[in-house]
Chain A
Amino acid sequence: MRLIIITALMLGLSGTALADDASYYIGARSGADVFASPNKRTEITAHLPRKSSITILEKRRGWWKIETTDTADRVSGWVFEGAVRKQYQTTRSKKKSSFFSGFASLFRSPEPPRKTAVLGVRGLEDNGVASAERAATEQANKIVKWMDTLDVPDDAVASFIDEGDLNP
């Protein structure tokens, strides 16, 4: 048992070479210092500003060996793990949104209501109640179907993030 624990510890503590296709960037507000080796006392070889795109080459006890991908003068070295963020990418369909067209048709009626699908069944006879409930359920199901069309295009999300100076 002791041997297994020691082996596991050694595996955990040793550096991990990566074959990771995901993209990463410097997420810390103040950017990140790049060190010559995974030790704070070693030389700082460069400073990367926030949002610099990087590739992760190796991970070792809270330090990540990185290489920049978006600069002409390629920088490589070690940065603190905490300064790095993963570039999240949606795996969803990239189809264009039918957002506004779907919305208009859903609420179209002779007197377009601002609020829809609210049950108003008080005072109706039993079969009237049942039919009002059916109609309300039908209308609710239509609204759910409309909600399914509310996909926003990836480029719109990217612009939204960029304009807000949020993390890409």
Chain B
Amino acid sequence: MKRPLLIFLYLLLFSTPAQAFDIGGFGIGGSGILGERLEQAGQALSLASALIPISDEEEIILGKRVAARVITRYGVEDNAATTYYLNLMATAIAQRSDRPDIPYHVAILATDDVNAYACPGGYIFLTRGVLDMVRDEAELAAVLAHEISHVTERHIVTALRNSKLMQVGTDGAAAAFRTPGPLLDQMTSFATDALFEGLNKSDEYDSDQKAVEYLDRLGYDYPAMFDVLELLESRRKQGATKVLSKTHPSPKTRIKKLKIATRKLSLEEPTGIRMPNRFAQHISSPEKDTS
């Protein structure tokens, strides 16, 4: 490579405003609600803050606090049998994910709204509404795999790392996790807002694609991911996905993007493994649960 070209590339790289580094999709140009909020608030990203690490342990500390806020908002369903089934499936998926070394735990939120949440550190919530919507185990696995991938791809953590909150520097951030105080409260609020107000659209597309990959690795029929999106579209028309529709791109667009993305993946032939019977055996509503 010629030296002038190298110099030109160097200048190009380092003269670009920091905001243009859309790490995790939360930079300027991010189309998600949180991305817009960051932009409005002038919380410009900086390359320096992007370097501040958040360890798995710190992420789990944050995740516990965010999970508590999710539980406070919706309540958790007392349904041990179904919860156990969900945790079995989540563990199986997570073991084949790109981040198998942290624990993943799932609980059911007591709301009929169709939605799911992935808190940092592996705390996953599916609503009763989404459990009642899916028709077989592969579709349920698709929902879980999508949520797990938000954790494996560290979407919320990346947004946090690039936020103004991390301008305290590495030591400041580490201290905040060691000794809970106002900064950790702010981080928790930031992460909770990201969860409730929506991630960047690109993160959702990314998680759809990862979900297909995880389903394929485990051997579930990965077209189930498309079927879930079709279901979401039909529920959206019925008005059953009001919260989800505010925080996610439209299912139609997600299907379109996912079709393009999956063409680039080297996937096995779909296995056809759907398991509607095992699903029916384990998914019970709280009224039917005898535990």
Binding site for B on A (CB under 8 A): 1, 27-29, 82, 85, 88-92, 99-100, 103-104, 107, 112-119, 136-137, 139-141, 143-144, 147-148, 150-152, 156-157, 160-161, 163-167
Lowest 8 A-B CB distances belong to which pairs? A118-B75, A167-B219, A115-B110, A140-B68, A140-B71, A166-B219, A147-B105, A103-B80
Judging by beta carbons under 8 Å apart, are B268 and A29 in contact?
Answer: yes
Across the interface, name the chain B residue whose C-beta is closest to A149.
B105
Number of interface residues of B (CB under 8 A): 46
User: How far apart sit A118 and B100, CA to CA, in the bound complex (Å)?
Assistant: 32
User: A92-B103, A136-B72, A140-B68 given as contacts; is B78 within 8 A of A85 (CB)?
Assistant: no
Within the assembled complex, what's the spacing in Å between the Cα atoms of A167 and B96? Answer: 10
Inter-chain CA distance A89–B219, complex, in Å, is 16
Binding site for A on B (CB under 8 A): 1, 64, 67-69, 71-78, 80, 83-84, 87-89, 91-92, 95-96, 100-101, 103, 105-107, 110, 123, 137, 217-220, 266, 268-269, 271, 273, 275, 278, 286-287, 291
- A103 and B87 CA atoms in complex are apart in Å by 13
- Chain B residues touching A, majority SS: mixed
Question: Do B78 and A113 touch across chains, with their CB atoms under 8 A apart?
Answer: yes
Query: Of residues A1, A82, A113, A148, which shows the largest number of chain B Cβ atoms within 10 Å of its Cβ?
Result: A148
Query: Which residues of the other chain, A, contact B91 by a CB distance below 8 angstroms?
Result: 90, 151-152, 157
Select B92's contact among A85, A103, A157, beta carbons within 8 Å.
Answer: A157
Q: Which residues of A contact B68 (CB under 8 A)?
A: 137, 140-141, 143-144
- Identify the closest chain B residue to A164 (Cβ): B275
How far, in whole Å, are A133 and B80 apart by their CA atoms in the complex?
A: 26
